[in-house]
Amino acid sequence: MYQEFYGFTERPFSETADPDFLYLSPKHREGLAHLEYSILDGKGFTVLCGDVGTGKTTLCKAIIERLSSDKILFVHILYSRLTFQEFLLELTDQLGLSIKRREKWDLLKSMKKHLMDLHKQNKKVVVILDEAQDVEPSVLEEIRLFSNIEAEKEKLIQIILVGQPQLMDILKRPDMIQIRQRISGYYYLKPLTLEETKEYISYRLSRVQDKPSVRFTSDAVALIYKATKGVPRMINLLCDFSIMEAFVDEVWTINSEHVKRAVAELNDPQLSLEIDDEQEGGEEEKEALVAPQPGFPMVGEEKKVEVEVQQEPREGKKRSIWDVLCFWRRK
């Protein structure tokens, strides 16, 4: 709704995992490098772990976009509550393999033959198993046995386990020792720092506006970081609602008041915001010092923008997001 008002080409803080909006913080850059090295070096098992919303799936989509070719075939399984037979069926479907008999033994034989054929064509298959903490341990063990299929010098299939911190606890279990011994690399994706949060917000805004007209003050960014603890998914959610609050006020600078109102509007237990007394004082709010992307001035840099807005007649009280939404739909 605010996209047209601010002239955005698309929403800057969509919750969709879009590789086009991938902000490569040092952590994400390192995680991407780990995945790329594991795939190109033919490692059997690799683990990518991190809290909810830290960008694991976005990173996986980015590596698929970067390396996918006629020589590297990816299978990305997003739903992990599967039996081993369902896992095999998902593999055959995504690889375009037509099998008439779909019992487990038939699937195993057909898949082994298909993997051998691909290897002869100098092709490799990489399976990314998302939300791997939800995979039954017995299924993980069967996947390990299945991954034993190998040519003379290399594995015919590579497995990347992607999951939340519970996955690490599962892999530490005594009965997981065999799969644990097969894992060649671990990477834990941590939330963003305050400085990375500033750069993240600036980067996403730069992707949707030709000229940097919409900006966040430094106090607003600090509150966003405090409320979200640097988790990108929660940053997106809070920034989206904060822009909506600024849209209600018909202003182009998002300040700490907009962020506070957005937190209250969302009423999400994952957003924790305790306002310090110093932040409540009468000192004028500081402009943001977010590092710009190439070709963009500082996000906090003053820019005189004269915008003629046809305002809805007001009746002496502040409009809510709901009021604006109803008005916008009537238009």
Per-residue pLDDT tens for 183-203?
999 999 999 999 999 999 999
| Token reading at 79 | 């739903």
Assign a CATH topology to domain 2-6+192-330: Helicase, Ruva Protein; domain 3 (1.10.8)
**Extents of the domains making up the chain:** 2-6+192-330, 26-189
Give residue-wise pLDDT tens across range 221-246.
999 999 999 999 999 999 999 999 99
Model pLDDT, residue 164: 96
CATH architecture, domain 26-189: 3-Layer(aba) Sandwich (3.40)
The Cα 220–Cα 55 span in angstroms is 22
Binned at pLDDT 50, 70 and 90, residue 296 comes out as very low
pTM for the complete prediction? 0.79
Of 20 and 277, which is predicted with more confidence? 20
pLDDT digits (tens, 9 = 90+) for 94-138: 998 888 777 888 899 999 999 999 999 999 999 999 999 999 999
Q: For 117-141, b where at least 16 C-beta lie within 10 A, e where not — what string?
A: ebbeeeebbbbbbbbbbbbeeebbe
Q: 77 has which bridge partners?
A: 129
Reported as a single tens digit per residue, the pLDDT across 151-193 is 666 788 999 999 999 999 999 999 999 999 999 999 999 999 9
CA angle 66/68/70 to nearest 5° reads 145
The pLDDT, as a whole number, for residue 273 is: 65
At residue 140, the pLDDT reads 94
Collapsed DSSP state (helix, strand, coil) of residue 240: helix
Which pLDDT score is estimated for 317? Answer: 46
How many CB atoms neighbour CB 295 within 10 A? 8
